[in-house]
Structure 1
Amino acid sequence: MKSYEKVIGVEAGDQRALRKEISELKANMEYQIDTEKAETEAQISLKEDKIWMKAESISLYKAEKKMLKEKLKKLKEKEQDFHKS
């Protein structure tokens, strides 16, 4: 379970870093010419796609973690029932 927390933390950290990069790129666009702006917008779009993919990964990790917790709970219940018998 701790590995899921680590992975989720890494993904969230990556998202924050990408958002910061996007902010910096947008701030620099003010001083760029049209071709540079187009390139920067493409970079921003790619980074936004990465953020979205990381958000999806986080959702999957959380869902899998929840499923494993439920499975562990059921196994513990079965173990208790077995010991009662």
Structure 2
Amino acid sequence: MSGVGKTGRRPLAVYAVVYLMFLYVPVLFLPVFSFNDSIYISFPLKGFTFDWYRSMMSNEPMFQALMNSIRVALATAAISTLL
């Protein structure tokens, strides 16, 4: 016997679920807020827009950073596939 009954594991399971939700729920909302027309993160959303993405693509340092990230991701995927 491990010494931990079912009642001892339940609080740990609840804690693990709450902890994972605390970590991942904000990440799931990021794409939703990226299309929001408002500059503030709030509900209800003000409207749907691609302006933030247009602004990012027209900003040369941001665009270069995006391209560098894509190059690194592709190189990493290719190398890890070969290994």
TM-score, normalised to structure 1's length? Answer: 0.35
Q: With CA pairs under 8 Å and 6+ residues apart, which has the higher RCO, 1 or 2?
A: 1
Q: TM-score, normalised by structure 2?
A: 0.36
